[in-house]
Amino acid sequence: MSFRVGTRKTEARSRGEAHVAESGSSALSILRVSEVKYLVTGDLACPGTKIWYSLNMKLLLTSAGITNETIANALEDLAGKSIKESKILFIPTAANTGTDDKSWLVQNIYEFTKREPLSFDLIDIAGLPDSMWKKHFEVADVICFGGGDEAYLSRILDEQNITEYLKPLLEKKVYMGISAGSLVAGIFQPKGINVELYGEECENDEGIGMEFYDFVFIPHLNSPYFPNVIIETLEEKRDRFVSRVIATDDFTAIKIVDGEIEFVGDGDRWEKPE
């Protein structure tokens, strides 16, 4: 269903309020702003109008993948079936830029395959024509973007127009992220903060998040591999964060269904309200 929305859309979204979608003078529906995500223009819209659609997305944000059975159970709950009955698509593209040891990537993949999914597919989307990658997305039940360089991944998603392709597709599938794959689905922080936290340069590769959720996700809280991603450091930087922030450790996940957030697991987490 499509809705023509008035000029209060931007202000209402920033406050997290609901708004009334109107066509002329007739109110059509009231939507939570967290459900209103993307814009359609061109032939589907009258000149000068903005048409927004309600998305019913299911997302699972993780720092390090399926590190425990609680996270595995959450994925099965979102998919509506067991992992053994699910078709998994894993996208390792974010790992392309680094020359570091990639045993963590192998471990992320193993956490899926040891649970014997119905199928486990893997494709690096960088530089591929959509005729090659779309068919992989269409048959999957779970689309998992792996970790690595989120700014590089964002640029690839933009070049391939994958964000717009995913929006309607994810009404029937589950989006899962691991580290960068989780971060890229939300809102990016300024590049400088990421460098301070993770000590990683992104080779001047800029990007923006897909904004499937409306906060900043910080992975690997209290991980020995990222000594600056600790609660004390985040508290020191609190005033520099420009939006809501949620940080989780490698054993905690965030489950999002239709904009509603649920924490999975009892590990460490830190939050800064908007």
For residues 127 and 244, state if they share a domain: yes
For 262, the token pair is: 């649920």
For residues 201 and 106, state if they share a domain: yes
User: What's the angle, vertex CA 164, arms to CA 213 and CA 113, rounded to 5?
Assistant: 70
pLDDT confidence of residue 193: 87
pLDDT confidence of residue 40: 41
What whole-number percentage of the chain has pLDDT above 90?
66
User: Can you tell me the distance from the alpha carbon of 68 to that of 242, in angstroms, rounded to the nearest whole number?
Assistant: 32
How far is CA 59 from each of CA 3, 26, 90, 239, rounded to the nearest angstrom?
24, 34, 15, 28
For residues 156 and 77, state if they share a domain: yes
For residues 239 and 167, state if they share a domain: yes
User: What's the angle, vertex CA 244, arms to CA 241 and CA 248, rounded to 5?
Assistant: 95
Q: What are phi and psi of 144, to 5 degrees?
A: -115, 120
Task: Look at 39-43, 122-126, 158-162 and tell me which has the smallest mean pLDDT.
Answer: 39-43
User: Can you tell me the distance from the alpha carbon of 138 to that of 186, in angstroms, rounded to the nearest whole number?
Assistant: 22
For residues 104 and 23, state if they share a domain: no
Burial class (CB in 10 A: 0-12, 13-18, 19+), 44: exposed
Task: Look at 36-50, 136-150, 191-205 and tell me which has the smallest mean pLDDT.
Answer: 36-50
Number of domains, the chain? 2
Q: What are phi and psi of 237, to 5 degrees?
A: -95, 5
**What is the rounded average pLDDT of the residues 140-157?**
95
**What is the rounded average pLDDT of the residues 42-70?**
68
Letter for the amino acid at 201? E
pLDDT confidence of residue 201: 55
Dihedral angle sign, alpha carbons of residues 220, 224, 227, 230? positive
For residues 173 and 241, state if they share a domain: yes
> Which of 13, 33, 54 represents a domain boundary (last residue)?
54
For residues 146 and 222, state if they share a domain: yes
Question: What average pLDDT does the chain have?
Answer: 81
For residues 22 and 35, state if they share a domain: yes
For residues 89 and 146, state if they share a domain: yes
Indicate if the pLDDT at residue 31 is higher than 60: no
Indicate if the pLDDT at residue 24 is higher than 80: no
Which residue from 134, 137, 145, 222 is spatially nearest to 185, judged by alpha carbons? 145
User: Can you tell me the distance from the alpha carbon of 10 to that of 95, in angstroms, rounded to the nearest whole number?
Assistant: 35
- Per residue, the 3-state secondary structure of 203-267, as one string, reads CCCCCCCCCCCCCEEECCCCCCCCCCCCHHHHHHCHHHCCCCEEEECCCCEEEEECCEEEEECCC
Indicate if the pLDDT at residue 103 is higher than 80: yes
pLDDT confidence of residue 33: 34
Task: Compute CA 151 distance to the chain's CA centroid, rounded to the nearest angstrom.
Answer: 13
Residue 200: band (very low, low, confident or very high) from pLDDT cuts 50, 70, 90: low
For residues 40 and 67, state if they share a domain: no
User: Can you tell me the distance from the alpha carbon of 80 to that of 109, in angstroms, rounded to the nearest whole number?
Assistant: 21
Higher local confidence (pLDDT), 51 or 175 = 175
User: Can you tell me the distance from the alpha carbon of 167 to that of 38, in angstroms, rounded to the nearest whole number?
Assistant: 8
Indicate if the pLDDT at residue 127 is higher than 80: yes
Q: What are phi and psi of 148, to 5 degrees?
A: 140, -130
Which tens digit of pLDDT belongs to each residue from 206-265? 668 999 999 999 999 999 999 999 999 999 999 998 889 999 999 999 999 988 999 999
Q: How far apart are the first and last CA of the chain?
A: 30
pLDDT confidence of residue 192: 81
Q: Range of 268's domain?
A: 58-272
Residue 194: band (very low, low, confident or very high) from pLDDT cuts 50, 70, 90: confident
For residues 97 and 183, state if they share a domain: yes
We report the CATH number of the domain holding residue 135 as 3.40.50.880
For residues 28 and 71, state if they share a domain: no
Beta pairing, strands 269-272 & 119-122: unpaired
Higher local confidence (pLDDT), 198 or 2 = 198
